Structure formats: C-alpha cells, structure tokens
Structure 1
Amino acid sequence: MAFVLANSLRFHVQRLPAAATEAAGTAAAPAETAATATAADRPVVVFLHGLVVDNLSSFYCPLAVPAARAGNEAVLYDLRGHGRTERPATGYDSRTAVRDLVALLGALGLARRPVHLVGNSHGATLALHAALARPDLVAGLTLLEPPLSGAWVENMVDTLSAAALSLEDSPVPAELLSLRLRKAANLTAIADGLLNRTSLIDDMAASRPFTPADYERLRCPALIVCGEHSELVPGARELARHAPRAVIEILPGLGHDVLKESSGVLRKSVLAHLDATAGASTARTAQAGALVR
C-alpha cells in the first residue's frame, strides 16, 4: 500500500511491477511481431474503477495481477474521494479526473511512458476522456461496460440522488459496526460521504455526453467489452462504429458486471489486447528509429 500526493490530493495507489521475463504469446498482428515488446517498451497499464462503492481492489485479482505476470507494469489507484484516497468537497468532473491521472503519473515518475487505460463502468468513461484529452499519453484503451449515453447519466444521477436521501443522517453505518460488519459499514460511510458531502452528483449532472465526433477523434486502439444483456450495449456499438480503431466484444449471458461475472474469458481478451497494443507501439517506435537513422 502507498499514498502519493498528486494534484494537491493524497491518492491511495498500488503499483505492480512487470514480470522479469518478456511477455510471451503476444497477439500482435504479423506485421508487428518483428518488434518484441519488453516490459520497458510496453505501455504502463493503469486501472480506473467505477463509482461510489467501488475501488482499486475490484481489478486486483481478475486483471491487474495477471497483467503484471504477463509482462506489463500495472498501476491501480482509488479515484478522488473513493476507497482510501482523500475526499475533497469538489472536483468530480471528468476534466479534474484527467488532471488527477496525469498528475499521479508524473508523481510516480511515469509521465514520459505511454499508458494503456483499463476502465470499468464510470472508470471507462474517464479513460475515454483521458484518451481524447491526451492522445500523446494514451497508447490504448480497454473499456468495460462504458456508460456513454446521456440517458444513462440522467438515470444514474436520479439513482444516486435517491441513494443520497436514504443515507443522509442514516443510522445504518453505526448499526453495521455494532454487528461487526466493518467492511459494509465502511463502504456505506464512503457512499454517504461522496453522495451527501461532495459535488459528485452535481458534477455528473453537468457532464456533456460523448458525440460521434468525439469518437472519430479517438486514434488509439480500443477494446470495448459488454455483457449481452447490458443496457449499455447500444452506446458501446456506436463508439465501435465511429472510432477508427475500436472493436467490441459482447459476452453472452451477462449483464453489466462483466468484471466480476466473467473473469476468465475477460482476462484472456484483455491480455490479448494488451499484447497487440504493446506490439503495435513497439513497431511504431522501431520504425521511427529507422527513419531517424
């Protein structure tokens, strides 16, 4: 466990080193296999979790540890106000989230390394915002159940507003503690703090939905994963239609929570996408070096 000061905020961060050996079994295209991606060459994989009761731990076993074992350096962190990261009253908009990410990478000494962002649910929208704002920094995206439509944002704002009312001055956290349900009590207290004592709901309500023009500006490779029964599939398909290098994978029989419900299938797809992205990045670097020489 580590705490890192970035953008005037204390972030809870976990950093997993890449395996000592080179990643094997790359899924790169034949034209890209001439350049082997070592750990130093590969983009750093950064994980962005979902809203309110989520935190970095949801990625740890399903994806982060396997990614590190496959030769990728991995960084996980609790978003602003979530988990063990500090909870300021304001700054829960996407622009501030991108500034948080860039500042954190700088504080970790990774400002000059390309990154591959893996985002789940709300974290996927933040990853997409970062890729659009900093195409120089983001080498690839993996978006799990990205909520992209304005209708989803409206529904989520309504849901969070109702949850905020139910938690305000609620005795539930104290009751959970009395029953020695410490984890549940902590998550309930975090949700209460975020929903009733920060600008998170207002910042979400003020957010601008993505447009096809935004998707057309996305230049890095992107893997989009959704459950077959997820209400977010139409928005994900629209992103895949308009983004030049995006592909979509629909997991049969699943709903919104693909990260928890399909870890084996998901892990295979994500690791293959990381290898392909790393291979392409290494090939471009080699080509650029040849031109310089």
Structure 2
Amino acid sequence: MPIIDVNGNDLHYLHERGKRRQQRGELAAPGPGVAPAPAPAATTTSTDLGDPARPAGAAPTLVCVHGLGTDSLASFYLTMAAPLAAAGIDAVFYDLRGHGNSGRPARGYTVGDFVADLAGLLAALGIDEPVHLVGNSFGGTIAYAFAAAHPDRVASIVTIEAEPPTQPWADRVGLMLENTRRDLGREDTYAWLQKTFGSHYVRLSRLAYRRLQETSMADEIPQGPLLDLEDLARIQQPVLSILGSDGFQAEDPYLLQSVLPDCHTVIVPDQDHSVLVESHRRVRELTIDWVHRHQAVGVPSGEGA
C-alpha cells in the first residue's frame, strides 16, 4: 500500500502507468469526441466532434480526486484504472486526508489544505508537467480551487456533479455537513440506509460519521478559501462539467458555462448526484476522450485537433 508523507500527513496513493500501444510514442486512438455544449435552453445527451488525431509524445497524466465522506480512491480506481491504462493515460489516484487509508489529522480540512495536499503529492511524485484533473463532487471543488491557485499546473479539468468553492457553495455544504454530523449517527438513519443502499453503504456511512465527529472537517471545509466571479473568470483551462439530469445542479445546469471562460456541459439523463457510480462507463468514455483531445497543453478547446 503506497503511502507518502505530504504536508506532514500520510497520503495513500496509486500511480498507474498507461500502456504504450504504438511505436514512436503514439498512443491508442480515442473514442468519440465531446461536443461543445448547446445553448442553455437545450440538453446535451450525446457527443460528436469527430475523431481528432492525437499528438504523439509523452503520455498525459490524469489525477483523480474523489468526493467527501463515504468516498475514497476506490470509486475512481475500480471504474477507471484499467481503461485509462489501456488508453495510454498515466493516472494518479489518492485518498484525501481523513479518507480511505490516508492519515486523519484532527484539524486541517479547509479547501486550501486539500489543494496543498494535491500540490505536494505531485511534487513528491516528480510530476512537473501540467496534469488533467478529474474530480467527483467535492473532488471537483478541489480541482477548481487547485486550477485557480496553480494555473500553470493544470492542462484541463473534468468535474462530475461538482461546483467551485464559492460562497453559495459554502453555505449549502456547511448546512449539509452540520446536518450530517447531527443526524448520521442515529440508528434509524442507518436502518433506512440499510434498506435503501445495503450493508456496504451503512459501513461507509458509519466511518464517515466517525470522521465528522473526530475531526474539524465539518467546520473547516466551508471556510474555503472561496472563489469569487473574478477568480472563476481567470480559470482559463478547458472544463468539462458532467452532470446528472436530476443532480444537485438540475435547476441551473449551465451556470458554470456562464462564469467560466471555457466550459462545456454534458448532462447524463435519468441520473442524480451518483453519476460516477451509476453511469461510470459514460463518465469514463467522456473523460478519456477529453484527455486525449486536450493532451496538447495550451491549445484552447475550440482549436487544435
């Protein structure tokens, strides 16, 4: 179990190398392309931008950042590791501080702390080229914050049911965390979770409840640092926002497109916040194509291949 000391805390990680299928450094051909999102009145349910030729050279690096509470690197690793390697993409998976097999300090859970961990992990692994970030839920929030803090370290961003760390986000997440810390430990809550999701989710929920009780996570995460509209306008990297049609952003799924300079939205029909789990094949296809398309660092998403 690879463990590395980052910012005085143990981080559990896995670094999977992409397979080289072609000679002269060429990688495997990508799947179908990702279309620019339509106007806000429409709903994107499919993609088709053609099949661009991929630039030869070093393999792109994708860093997967999981969500909060019951999540861990397993949600990405089990659904993406083998396909990413087969597609010639190097991938880094890691457990956030306080999650999975990483250390659980009592304090140090602001968004800034998670951003510092990601920067420290990349430095410790000797990854100095811009990376592609894919973040699920809170992992996507970290990806946006990292891009704002380290724009030169990011080639592109894929987020799944995720928002940047803004004041409205902090207000909603703060209330959710406080309610969870208060109610998740009740046995009637676990009985409902058992009936609805099964014993595995109950076990994960009990662990998440312990994290909230034993750390400052619920108090510190909403503190940010938060981004305002000017901060968001400076995120120049191409962004793919994957949302469930019934997810947390269902009321205004194209809001990010109105505040980020280069953002495309794909809405997965008949899905809620659990898009990564319930539609992992679709998420995987979109992510692999997105990384291939934006492998040439510095090429805006509307140009190039």
Quote the Cα distance in structure 1 between the aligned partners of 2:269 and 2:200: 32
User: Any conservation in 2 of the 1:146–1:236 contact (CA below 8 Å)?
Assistant: no
Quote the Cα distance in structure 2 between the aligned partners of 1:264 and 1:183: 22
With over 3 angstroms needed to count, the CA separation of the structure-2 counterparts of 1:41 and 1:282, relative to structure 1, is farther
> Match of 1:136, SS?
helix
Is 1:252 matched with 2:269?
A: yes
TM-score computed with the length of structure 2 as normaliser: 0.79
- Partner residue, 1:18: 18
How far has the Cα of 1:210 moved from its partner? 3.8
Is 1:37 matched with 2:56?
A: yes
- Counting only pairs closer than 5 Å after superposition, residues 55-70 of structure 1 correspond to structure 2 as 55-70=72-87
- Partner residue, 2:246: 229
- Counting only pairs closer than 5 Å after superposition, residues 88-99 of structure 1 correspond to structure 2 as 88-99=105-116
With over 3 angstroms needed to count, the CA separation of the structure-2 counterparts of 1:185 and 1:283, relative to structure 1, is closer
Quote the Cα distance in structure 2 between the aligned partners of 1:283 and 1:214: 21
Is 1:215 matched with 2:232?
A: yes
Quote the Cα distance in structure 1 between the aligned partners of 2:245 and 2:200: 31
Is 1:139 matched with 2:140?
A: no
With over 3 angstroms needed to count, the CA separation of the structure-2 counterparts of 1:151 and 1:132, relative to structure 1, is closer
- Partner residue, 1:120: 136
How far has the Cα of 1:234 moved from its partner? 5.0
Number of aligned positions between the proteins: 271
Quote the Cα distance in structure 2 between the aligned partners of 1:123 and 1:197: 21
> Match of 1:89, SS?
coil
User: Any conservation in 2 of the 1:36–1:282 contact (CA below 8 Å)?
Assistant: no
With over 3 angstroms needed to count, the CA separation of the structure-2 counterparts of 1:262 and 1:103, relative to structure 1, is same
Quote the Cα distance in structure 2 between the aligned partners of 1:192 and 1:255: 23
- Partner residue, 2:195: none
The correspondence for 1:100, drawn from 109, 114, 117, is 117
Between structures 1 and 2, the one with greater helix share: 1
- Counting only pairs closer than 5 Å after superposition, residues 179-194 of structure 1 correspond to structure 2 as 187-194=204-211
Residues 59-88 of structure 1 show CA distances to partners (whole Å, capped at 9, x for unaligned) of: 113223312210110000000110110000
How far has the Cα of 1:193 moved from its partner? 3.1
User: Any conservation in 2 of the 1:132–1:214 contact (CA below 8 Å)?
Assistant: yes
Quote the Cα distance in structure 1 between the aligned partners of 2:210 and 2:230: 36
Q: Which runs of 5+ in 2 are unaligned?
A: 35-48, 191-197, 301-305
- The RMSD of aligned alpha carbons is 2.9
How far has the Cα of 1:215 moved from its partner? 2.2
Quote the Cα distance in structure 1 between the aligned partners of 2:228 and 2:169: 14
Residues 144-183 of structure 1 show CA distances to partners (whole Å, capped at 9, x for unaligned) of: 101346445433323322332346698x99xxxxxxx996
Residues 218-256 of structure 1 show CA distances to partners (whole Å, capped at 9, x for unaligned) of: 111111000111132456522212222211111111111
With over 3 angstroms needed to count, the CA separation of the structure-2 counterparts of 1:243 and 1:152, relative to structure 1, is closer
Residues 20-61 of structure 1 show CA distances to partners (whole Å, capped at 9, x for unaligned) of: 22422245989x84x7233x252x100000001100000113
User: Any conservation in 2 of the 1:92–1:199 contact (CA below 8 Å)?
Assistant: yes
TM-score computed with the length of structure 1 as normaliser: 0.82
Quote the Cα distance in structure 2 between the aligned partners of 1:242 and 1:157: 23
Quote the Cα distance in structure 2 between the aligned partners of 1:203 and 1:283: 36
AA in 2 matched with 1:9 = N
- Partner residue, 1:291: none
The correspondence for 1:269, drawn from 243, 263, 286, is 286
How far has the Cα of 1:6 moved from its partner? 1.2
